[in-house]
Amino acid sequence: MRSRSINFDEGLLQEDKVYAVGTNDGKEFRRVVYGGTRLMNGKPMMIFKTEDNLQLSVNPSFHTYTLEEIQTEEDQQKGG
């Protein structure tokens, strides 16, 4: 019998978009850019980049919410 992999990722997060991310311990990370999902020790991790160009890895099981941060025209002109 062949095992099947079930993909529960429905593509809610879009790469290169800006988000605010919250975790179940009350931490919040604002204005982070989603870079995709990568495996760490066999577990999928959501990868974000901060404004300071630091990498933030979030385990989906500790993740509580994600808000898309809409950029205004002014933000885009500033390069943000």
Q: Are 48 and 63 within 8 A, CB to CB?
A: no
CA distance 2 to 4: 6
Tens-place pLDDT, residues 20-39: 999 989 999 999 999 999 99
The pLDDT of residue 17 is above 90: yes
CA distance 80 to 74: 9
Task: Calculate Rg over the CA atoms of the chain.
Answer: 15
pTM of the model: 0.72
| Domains of the chain, first to last | 18-70 (2.30.30)
pLDDT on residue 78: 66
pLDDT on residue 11: 73
Q: Which whole number is the average pLDDT over 43-69?
A: 90
The pLDDT of residue 75 is above 70: no
- Both tokens of 75, joined, read 């933000």
CA distance 30 to 5: 33
